[in-house]
Amino acid sequence: MIDFSKLRGNIFGGITAGVIALPLSLAFGVSSGLGAMAGLYGAIFLSLFASIFGGTPTQISGPTGPMTVVIASMLVQYPGDFKLIFATIFLAGVFQIIFGLTKLGGIIKYVPYPVISGFMSGIGAIIILLQLNPIFGLDFNGTPAESLIYFVKHISMMNHSSLCLGLLTLCIIFLTPKKISKIIPSSLIALILVTLFSVINNFNVTTIGNIPRGLPTVQLGMISLSDIQIILPLALTLGILGSIDSLLTSLVADSLTKTKHNSNQELIGQGIGNIAASIFGGIAGAGATMRTVVNIKAGGSSRLSGIVQAIFLICVILFFAPFASKIPLAVLAGILVKVGIDIIDYKFLNIIKVAPRRDILVMLTVFLITVLDDLIFAVGVGVVLSALLLAYKLSQQMEMEISKPDEDFIEEDNNKDLIIAHIKGVLFFGTASLLLSKMESLLHHKNLIINCESIKSMDISAIFALEEMVAQLKEQGVEIVLVISNKKLKERLFDTGLNKLMAEWQIVPSLDKAMSLIRN
């Protein structure tokens, strides 16, 4: 249900977020290759439906940098095939709904921070690299690396008017006093003033071009089965990326409002929003952090604020389309450069000198793969690399200390050859081979107590390693007593095959009982 109890705050929050969304949506639409109107339509439909059906009431959704980068890269692969692009966005929305229905929303909490840091900084770098050519008036669309190469080769052909407008845009954005930018966003000030400056001076620069007035028409068409096979991986990439982007913004909203969002419901809302956007020719988007923060600080507290933003942008299309058509691409590029700079994770960069080396390695790996190859592949590599480095660290903490019983316990005729192996740390796949390597020091004793009191859990790799160690020691004639205080772990060991090697009475819950068993 829509909360009307704080009507004024929600209306003001929605309009304020819409004012910020206007230049960004135009810029993201042009940068994606689908056109300025695709950015506006994406902002309208995603904001409307994600607000109604999502799980974060104060979240403002719309085109974002990461999603735009993916769409732009798709258009490089399939130039001019807009039907295929919109079908991909449609399927990405379907994937997001599936993620929500299958309760995958909580997985975001397991993505390590260095992965997120490298990913976001990589996205920021991509956005900046892709704006170099538009700012200098050079017409080129390609990957970040290709754009940089083209820029270096053709910089002598720059349009000085475009460069002037781009630099003027950046100056206004960065130098506008905070007192003013809190009332009117600096990006909107730059958009209006620099566009008027260009029109008055009749600069010969590339502009957005004709923008149709009125509501959009259906753009989604039928595609073949072979096309579906092509776009499925791309749609999955877009769906995962949008989910991560949105849920990260939801966490920010939670911290500001002291509430808790519904991750799975948010993914369903984002999926419905992206499906609607694709049907009417809008680019894909996600929860937008800056717009969400502005909405909350302006008084937005319910789903109504997102709906108000959509209505505000519809009014812009109906009444201000002629002005928007005259906006120079260099101005939009300048706005996006600021977006790219803001996306870079300075929090991690500020502590990089003291950060653990493994975290720096993960961050840099994700950053480079994001910029040079593929976004989702970068996140996958980062998560796997983080897991492997963590496994290595934990494996180094596993110890096996060897001790003998107290002198008064030792009996001359029987128990002089007793040894106790105390296993400490975490037993999992990363320590299984290390456990077996310690076995050599235990082979030449008659009686052995393996003390696992401090072990609370073991994965299947560690269980099999322990069973293999017990089997090999028994082959050498060593009598073994196992100390396991965790009843569930004992049952699990027996269920997986330890009952074939040891009797139940040979597994005791404490070291004292093990000593008594050996004595008797």
Q: Cβ of 306: how many Cβ atoms within 10 Å?
A: 34
Q: Domain for residue 360, yes or no?
A: yes
Domain end marker among 370, 389, 408: 389
Res 461: pLDDT = 82
Q: Which two tokens stand for residue 449?
A: 């107590």
- Residue 296's domain spans which residues? 7-139+158-208+225-389
CA distances for 112 relative to 323, 351, 375, 390, angstroms: 45, 16, 16, 11
Whether the CB-CB separation of 84 and 78 falls below 8 Å is answered with yes
- Beta carbons of 453 and 485 less than 8 angstroms apart: yes
Residue 492 lies in a domain: yes
Same domain, 308 and 191: yes
124 and 245 within one domain: yes
Is 153 within the bounds of a domain?
Answer: no
Q: Is residue 127 located within the same domain as residue 256? A: yes
Two tokens, residue 341: 């700079």
- pLDDT tops 50 at residue 324: yes
Regarding whether 330 and 471 lie in a shared domain, the answer is: no
Give every CB contact of residue 313 below 8 A, 6+ residues apart in sequence.
18, 21, 22, 25, 40, 43, 44, 47
33 in the same domain as 125: yes
On average, the pLDDT of the chain sits at 84
- For 92-115, the pLDDT digits (tens) are 999 999 999 998 877 766 778 888
Listed residue (239, 258, 240, 265) closest to 56, CA to CA: 265
pLDDT of residue 413: 45
Do 426 and 321 fall within a single domain?
A: no
* Mean pLDDT, rounded, for 203-228: 77
Could you tell me if residue 149 is inside a domain? Answer: no
Contacts with 329 (C-beta within 8 Å, 6 or more apart), sequence order: 30, 134, 162, 205, 206, 207, 208
Alpha helix segments (H runs only) across 354-507: 357-372, 375-396, 429-437, 460-475, 487-495
Residue 104 CA to chain centroid, in angstroms? 13
| pLDDT tens profile 158-207 | 899 999 999 999 999 899 898 887 777 788 888 889 999 999 998 888 88
Query: Could you tell me if 422 and 381 lie in one domain?
Result: no
Please give the pLDDT value at position 407: 64
With 60 as the cut, is the pLDDT of residue 414 above it? no
Q: Are residues 165 and 43 part of one domain?
A: yes
22 domain-assigned: yes
Q: Torsion over CA of 468, 471, 476 and 481, rounded to 10 degrees?
A: 110
Q: Which residue has the higher pLDDT, 53 or 431?
A: 53
412 and 287 co-located in one domain: no
Q: Is the pTM above the cut of 0.85? A: no
pLDDT above 70 covers a percentage of the chain that reads: 94
The answer to which of 34-48, 164-178, 502-516 has the lowest mean pLDDT is 502-516
- 295, part of any domain: yes
Instruction: Choose the final residue of a domain: 356, 389, 422.
Output: 389
Closest CA to 85 of 273, 276, 227, 272: 227
Give the per-residue pLDDT at 239. Answer: 92
pLDDT digits (tens, 9 = 90+) for 237-294: 899 889 988 988 888 888 778 888 899 999 999 999 999 999 999 999 999 887 888 8
Residue ending a domain, choose from 340, 369, 389: 389
Q: What is the pLDDT of residues 454-495, one digit of tens each?
A: 776 778 888 888 888 888 888 888 888 888 887 888 888 887
Phi, psi of 417 (to 5 degrees): -100, 35
CA dist 408 and 463 (Å) reads 34
45 within domain boundaries: yes
Residues 195 and 325 in one domain: yes
Asked whether residue 379 falls in the same domain as residue 408, the answer is: no
User: Is residue 213 in a domain?
Assistant: no
Residue 349 scores a pLDDT above 50: yes
How many domains does the chain contain in total?
2
Average pLDDT over residues 322-345: 84
Q: What is the CATH number of the domain that holds 445?
A: 3.30.750.24
Is the same domain home to 186 and 255?
A: yes
